[in-house]
Amino acid sequence: MDLAFGDIGAVMRLLAASQVVLFAIVVLRAGLPARTKALVALLAVGVLSYLFLPLAAGRVAQPVIVAAGFASNTVPALLFVLAWEFFEDAAPAPGVWAVLVLTIVGAVWLVAAPDNRLALTTVQVLKLGVAAAGLWLVWRGHGVDLVDERRRLRRLFLGGVGVLVVTVVLAELVAQWQVPAALEALGMALIFVFVVAVNVAFLTLEPGLLMLTQIAAPLPAAQAADDPLVAELERLLREERLYADHDLRIGQVAERLRVPEYRLRKTINGRLGHRNFNRYVNGYRIEEAAARLRSDAHLPVLTIALDVGFRSISSFNAAFREMHGCTPTEYRAIHG
């Protein structure tokens, strides 16, 4: 029975590998940034290494086996960085690259000590943590994402990667890398199904695939103002200061405007060029904060931050620096 499951697992590995190659071709042919293409290429190499590693034992030279083992252990970190690339609009934070470097260090350690149980366990736990962090990254932005294509891919990423990476890593960790043939065949089948689903999604998105990493150009102000929904949205935000509510959600704004939430998302994204609701609202918050920093030299920065809708001084400082290139205190010193 193990032999039969082993054969099924091998076939599933080959089928999954063919879909990984197709995925890489689709993304690499799209007009995406070079960094995105490089990440996808590295991810494809890592996944293919993971798929072919058991089949290559005894058939290829040991250095190739070692290189493939190293590449396969970087997959969770590459998925995390790629998730940031696709789903976050801000430049990667230093912590994003730190995650990748830490995983690479762990993979190198594992290559240097392949039979060391401490190394094996530590790297598996690290990979599980990185996978969980990637899932959290994708989940946290779902409610504020204004790009329909990305929202659909978020759900696919959460479901697919959540099941696959966590299941594979946990199975290897619990089974001490002696995974039963039946469970391995099931895992390979799941990978195959998931990659097929990803390919269908990406092929369906063409040419909308570019929307994942490119900011939509907003309509000219005059044309945007001609839209009654845009005008009423602007009135609510400016005159009623809805942005001062630090718990403001796009659903609440849609209720006030008496329009479906999906229509409001499409309007803010398609007509105003914004991809993230929180960043859009922060623009109004920072605008008022900057005016108050200029006009009142004695009002504490924290008071201003809380009054315009930020939860903390740290989030206010980060958003302010992103927009003005300096901290609120530095801005006040220059313009006060």
Could you tell me which residue, 268 or 181, shows the higher pLDDT?
268
The Cα 209–Cα 320 span in angstroms is: 30
Mean pLDDT (the chain) is 83
Q: Which amino acid is at 53?
A: L
**Angle at the Cα of 70 from the Cα atoms of 194 and 17, rounded to 5 degrees:** 30
pLDDT in tens, 239-252: 999 999 999 999 99
pLDDT in tens, 286-295: 999 999 999 9
CATH class of 2-212: mainly alpha
Q: Which residue has the tokens 């590449």?
A: 71
The dihedral over CA atoms of 155, 196, 99, 38, expressed in degrees to the nearest 10, equals: -120
Q: Which of 142, 136, 143 is nearest to 252 (CA)?
A: 143
User: Do 47 and 101 form a contact (C-beta atoms < 8 A)?
Assistant: no
The dihedral over CA atoms of 101, 102, 103, 109, expressed in degrees to the nearest 10, equals: 110
Question: What is the pTM assigned to this prediction?
Answer: 0.79
Q: Which of 147, 144, 150 is nearest to 281 (CA)?
A: 144
Q: What is the pLDDT confidence band of residue 1, given thresholds at 50, 70 and 90?
A: very low
Q: Is the pLDDT of residue 211 over 60?
A: no
Fold of 223-335: Arc Repressor Mutant, subunit A (1.10.10)
Q: Is the pLDDT of residue 86 over 90?
A: no
Instruction: Give me 24's structure tokens.
Output: 């890489």
The Cα 107–Cα 126 span in angstroms is: 10
User: Do 137 and 84 form a contact (C-beta atoms < 8 A)?
Assistant: yes
Helix, strand or coil for residue 145? Answer: strand
The domain segmentation of the chain, as residue ranges, is 2-212, 223-335
